[in-house]
Structure 1
């Protein structure tokens, strides 16, 4: 049996793969399937600013993200992964177009894991000097 922290990391890495796939091509179903019914997420700005609750709200958010970044956004580098017994944080850079304007950014996303599912998500980002 693997230690709990390794199991948490593996689950979060799978969720992150599904998440970046959704960013790139709008296919969010695999990620949504990993969310708990009481899923919460925190986003730092815009229509979804602050704390949001539920899978339906998450679906709205993910659809909005994909629409904003048509034709998709790509992860360009993964800088670090930090984890503990319930949370895994991925720090990365991504780029694409945001509402038709060039976009590049540094991002950190945290996934909270419980019972092989993601029950919480938080996103933090900062501009690297380019438009976003």
Structure 2
């Protein structure tokens, strides 16, 4: 494994831990501190559908996530981690409450790493978290 891939794994795992922290506490400061100033993210639905640019937009997005889920969302299993020199993908299942309705899903999040920061994020979901 190259030094670049080792760094991507290290920073990517930090990002995933901070993502989980934000989901369960609504404290997104540790995650925001890990983002580059030119951070971009892609989200598949809703008000944040498509490409979004900047830390301010990311902060608004994470606040929106906390409003939708409160502090109920929990990662129930980490299914797979895949990486290369600059990108790491986490596939996982999560559960919680979405606007007082039970929620379960299968998610993939991709982090792009530059140095010791996250410069890009993409999220994909859509299947019931209870399916195989």
CA RMSD of aligned residues (A): 1.3
Partner of 2:29: 29
**Given the two structures, how large is their TM-score scaled by the length of structure 2?**
0.94
Deviation at 1:129, TM superposition (A): 7.1
Q: 1:129 to 1:117 in 2, by over 3 A?
A: closer
Deviation at 1:25, TM superposition (A): 1.1
5+ residue gaps, structure 2? none
Deviation at 1:57, TM superposition (A): 0.2
Partner of 2:97: 97
Structure 2 CA distance for aligned equivalents of residues 120 and 114 of structure 1 = 9
Equivalent positions of 1:111-130 (< 5 A) are 111-128=111-128
**Given the two structures, how large is their TM-score scaled by the length of structure 1?**
0.94
Partner of 1:15: 15
Count of matched residue pairs: 129
